[in-house]
Amino acid sequence: MQPASDTCPRCGSTARITTAELATDNTGLPIVVKVPRRPDAAVFKHMEYATLRVTICGACGHVDLYAKQPEALYEAFLEGEQHRLG
Protein backbone atom coordinates (compact mmCIF):
# COMPACT_ATOMS: atom_id res chain seq x y z
CA MET A 1 0.00 0.00 0.00
CA GLN A 2 1.34 3.42 -0.94
CA PRO A 3 1.42 5.93 1.92
CA ALA A 4 -0.45 9.18 1.44
CA SER A 5 1.84 11.91 0.20
CA ASP A 6 -0.54 14.84 -0.24
CA THR A 7 0.30 16.53 3.09
CA CYS A 8 3.50 16.79 5.10
CA PRO A 9 3.35 14.69 8.31
CA ARG A 10 5.44 17.32 10.11
CA CYS A 11 3.97 20.69 9.10
CA GLY A 12 0.80 19.77 7.18
CA SER A 13 1.82 21.63 4.02
CA THR A 14 0.58 20.39 0.66
CA ALA A 15 3.78 21.63 -1.05
CA ARG A 16 5.00 18.10 -1.72
CA ILE A 17 7.87 17.33 -4.09
CA THR A 18 7.26 13.83 -5.46
CA THR A 19 9.73 13.69 -8.35
CA ALA A 20 12.98 13.83 -6.34
CA GLU A 21 15.49 10.99 -6.55
CA LEU A 22 18.15 9.82 -4.13
CA ALA A 23 21.51 9.51 -5.84
CA THR A 24 25.20 9.90 -5.15
CA ASP A 25 26.59 13.29 -6.16
CA ASN A 26 29.36 12.07 -8.40
CA THR A 27 27.93 9.23 -10.41
CA GLY A 28 24.19 9.75 -10.21
CA LEU A 29 23.84 6.10 -9.26
CA PRO A 30 20.75 5.49 -7.16
CA ILE A 31 21.12 4.93 -3.43
CA VAL A 32 19.69 1.59 -2.36
CA VAL A 33 18.88 -0.23 0.82
CA LYS A 34 19.96 -3.86 1.16
CA VAL A 35 18.90 -6.70 3.42
CA PRO A 36 21.10 -9.81 3.80
CA ARG A 37 19.58 -13.26 3.35
CA ARG A 38 22.75 -14.67 4.98
CA PRO A 39 23.71 -12.03 7.57
CA ASP A 40 26.41 -14.21 9.15
CA ALA A 41 28.16 -15.08 5.88
CA ALA A 42 31.65 -13.64 5.49
CA VAL A 43 31.31 -12.80 1.80
CA PHE A 44 28.18 -13.95 0.02
CA LYS A 45 25.42 -12.41 2.07
CA HIS A 46 22.86 -12.72 -0.75
CA MET A 47 21.56 -9.20 -0.46
CA GLU A 48 18.08 -8.17 -1.48
CA TYR A 49 18.23 -4.62 -2.87
CA ALA A 50 15.60 -1.96 -3.27
CA THR A 51 15.64 1.60 -4.46
CA LEU A 52 13.89 4.29 -2.47
CA ARG A 53 10.99 6.55 -3.26
CA VAL A 54 11.44 10.06 -1.90
CA THR A 55 8.93 12.74 -1.00
CA ILE A 56 10.19 16.14 0.17
CA CYS A 57 8.13 18.86 1.81
CA GLY A 58 8.63 22.11 -0.09
CA ALA A 59 7.69 24.14 3.00
CA CYS A 60 9.74 22.66 5.89
CA GLY A 61 12.12 20.27 4.11
CA HIS A 62 10.88 17.12 5.82
CA VAL A 63 11.89 14.04 3.81
CA ASP A 64 9.96 10.79 3.63
CA LEU A 65 11.69 7.67 2.35
CA TYR A 66 9.90 4.52 1.24
CA ALA A 67 11.55 1.36 0.01
CA LYS A 68 10.17 0.00 -3.21
CA GLN A 69 9.25 -3.71 -3.09
CA PRO A 70 9.11 -3.83 0.73
CA GLU A 71 7.65 -7.34 0.64
CA ALA A 72 10.83 -8.70 -0.98
CA LEU A 73 12.98 -6.95 1.64
CA TYR A 74 10.93 -8.36 4.50
CA GLU A 75 11.04 -11.85 3.02
CA ALA A 76 14.85 -11.57 2.82
CA PHE A 77 14.94 -10.33 6.42
CA LEU A 78 12.90 -13.30 7.63
CA GLU A 79 15.12 -15.71 5.69
CA GLY A 80 18.19 -14.06 7.24
CA GLU A 81 16.74 -14.37 10.73
CA GLN A 82 16.10 -18.08 10.18
CA HIS A 83 19.74 -18.60 9.18
CA ARG A 84 21.05 -16.39 11.97
CA LEU A 85 18.99 -18.07 14.69
CA GLY A 86 18.79 -21.53 13.16
Binding site for Zn ion (CB under 5 A): 8, 10-11, 13, 57, 59-60, 62
Cβ 18 to Zn ion, closest distance in Å? 13
Residue 16 or 46: the one with the smaller Cβ distance to Zn ion is: 16
CA distances from 28 to 22, 34, 52 (A): 9, 18, 14
Cβ 14 to Zn ion, closest distance in Å? 9
How many other C-beta atoms are found inside a 10 Å radius of the C-beta of residue 12? Answer: 10
**CA 63 distance to own-chain centroid:** 12
Whole-angstrom distance, CA of residue 65 vs CA of residue 22: 9
Cβ 74 to Zn ion, closest distance in Å? 28
Residue 60 or 65: the one with the smaller Cβ distance to Zn ion is: 60
